[in-house]
Amino acid sequence: MDRQELEAALREAFDGADEPVSVVARQARDLAEAGQFDADFDGELTVDTVLDNLRDAPEGYSLVERWNWWLGALDLSHGGYARFSVRPDVDTHS
């Protein structure tokens, strides 16, 4: 998955601020590189897959909340996805 392509798509779809977009895109790239999604769903994790699933989150959720909501659902159904969640309580600038 191309991280820059995902960042641009996230900005367009969710009008996100730069920092949350880059953090979510980094986690999505890490998830894609881990191969877990591919193995669990017999298909590659794509920008469209990420966008479609984030759009399914409840209205009013921020981008990070949408990402964590989707990852939580994946973790409940298949396990092992919590490690890709974004922790808003942790400083991402270090």
Taking only the tens place, the pLDDT of each residue in 8-19 is 999 999 876 667
Encoded amino acid at 71, one letter = L
Residue 61 predicted with pLDDT over 80: yes
Encoded amino acid at 45, one letter = L
Closest Cα partner for 10 from 73, 62, 74, 84? 62
Where b means 16+ CB within 10 Å and e means fewer, 12-43 reads: ebbebeeebbbbbbbbbbebbeeebbeeeeee
Which pTM was predicted?
0.89
Encoded amino acid at 68, one letter = N
